[in-house]
């Protein structure tokens, strides 16, 4: 009789689900996916959760191949030598091969006030925390989105489409990951939506930082030395688009 191979996939995000599904195409492989939540989180829709147009959740039955066993739990320990994982719920599972696909979380912003007053949206729980805050904010409240990458741009657009007054604060370059032509098109769309884009002058080397107090941006800073924030003079180094 052919031997069976046990594969454990830790993390049921995009990477974990794809790996698990592909492995079921092979004979003699038992695939177990371990994830803390009973539903698949569509992280690419978390900004829509914030705006209220999607809940960013999909039933695992819709995305997991039939042969994948789902264990709803969190891996707290991997014993690589013993080829076993320990789960938060107290269980222990043995494996022949382990796929580690736990994704990422929010980076430490290193910005004064951000940890206490800003709302990161890298995870489902973070986005769910922000949603009622947006709902409770008056329609005229000024919302500042920090970060000129895809998440920041998509979040700013989502909120602006709801009729919110939005400012998008970028580091040096707005949409640095985009081709210049695409960047112009996105900037045009944001302008049509009424989003104010603040972009640091490209000649400066360093990062932009905000001081956030009670959810209000009270100053825009240029960080030359992360230990020491120096306030931008009258924001002359910022390009307003």
Ligand X SMILES: Cc1cc2nc3c(=O)[nH]c(=O)nc-3n(C[C@H](O)[C@H](O)[C@H](O)COP(=O)(O)OP(=O)(O)OC[C@H]3O[C@@H](n4cnc5c(N)ncnc54)[C@H](O)[C@@H]3O)c2cc1C
Nearest-angstrom CA–CA distance, 35 and 100: 11
Instruction: Give me 176's structure tokens.
Output: 């640095």
35 near ligand X (CB under 6 A): yes
In the complex, minimum distance from the CB of residue 128 to ligand X, in angstroms, rounded to a whole number: 12
Site residues (CB under 6 A) for ligand X, limited to 66-125: 74-75, 101-103, 121-122
Minimum distance, C-beta of residue 107 to ligand X, in the bound complex (Å): 11
Tell me how far, at minimum, the Cβ of 16 lies from ligand X, in Å.
5
Instruction: State the CB neighbour count (10 A cutoff) for residue 202.
Output: 9
**How far apart are the C-alpha atoms of 224 and 207, rounded to whole Å?**
7
Strands 75-79 and 5-10: unpaired
CA gap 29, 97 in Å, rounded? 10
Task: Give the helix ranges, DSSP H, for 25-96.
Answer: 46-51, 60-63
Minimum distance, C-beta of residue 192 to ligand X, in the bound complex (Å): 20
What track of x and - describes contact with ligand X for positions 137 through 176 (by CB under 6 A)?
-------------xx--x----------------------
Give the residues across from 32 on adjacent strands: 8, 69
State which residue, 63 or 223, has the beta carbon closest to ligand X: 63
Which 3 state secondary structure label does DSSP give 174?
coil
Interface with ligand X, residue 24, by CB under 6 A: no
Phi, psi of 22 (to 5 degrees): -65, -40
Closer to ligand X by CB, 72 or 223: give it. Answer: 72
Distance of closest approach, residue 194 Cβ to ligand X, in angstroms = 21
Residue number with CB closer to ligand X (123 or 239): 123
Binding residues (CB under 6 A) for ligand X: these are 10-16, 34-36, 41, 43-44, 46-47, 74-75, 101-103, 121-122, 150-151, 154
């Amino acid at each position: 009789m052919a031997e069976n191979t046990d594969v454990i996939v830790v993390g049921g995000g995009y990477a974990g689900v794809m790996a698990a599904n592909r492995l079921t195409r092979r004979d003699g492989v038992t695939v177990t996916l371990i994830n803390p939540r009973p539903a698949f989180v569509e992280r690419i829709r978390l900004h829509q959760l914030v705006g209220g147009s999607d809940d960013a959740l999909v039933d695992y039955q819709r995305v997991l191949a039939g042969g994948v066993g789902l264990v709803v739990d969190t891996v707290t320990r991997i014993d690589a030598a013993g080829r076993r994982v320990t789960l938060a719920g107290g269980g222990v599972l043995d494996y022949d091969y382990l796929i580690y696909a736990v994704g990422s979380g929010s980076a430490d912003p290193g910005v004064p006030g951000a940890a206490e007053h800003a709302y990161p949206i890298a995870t489902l729980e973070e986005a769910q925390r922000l949603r009622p805050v947006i709902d409770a904010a008056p329609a005229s409240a000024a919302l500042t989105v920090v970060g000129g990458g895809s998440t920041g741009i998509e979040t700013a657009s989502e909120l602006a489409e709801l009729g919110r007054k939005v400012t998008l604060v970028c580091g040096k370059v707005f949409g640095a990951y985009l081709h210049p032509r695409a960047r112009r098109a996105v900037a045009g769309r944001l302008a049509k939506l009424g989003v104010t884009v603040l972009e640091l002058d490209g000649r400066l080397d360093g990062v932009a930082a905000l001081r956030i107090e009670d959810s209000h941006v009270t100053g825009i800073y240029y960080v030359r030395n992360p230990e020491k924030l120096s306030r931008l003079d009258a924001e002359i180094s910022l390009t307003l688009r």
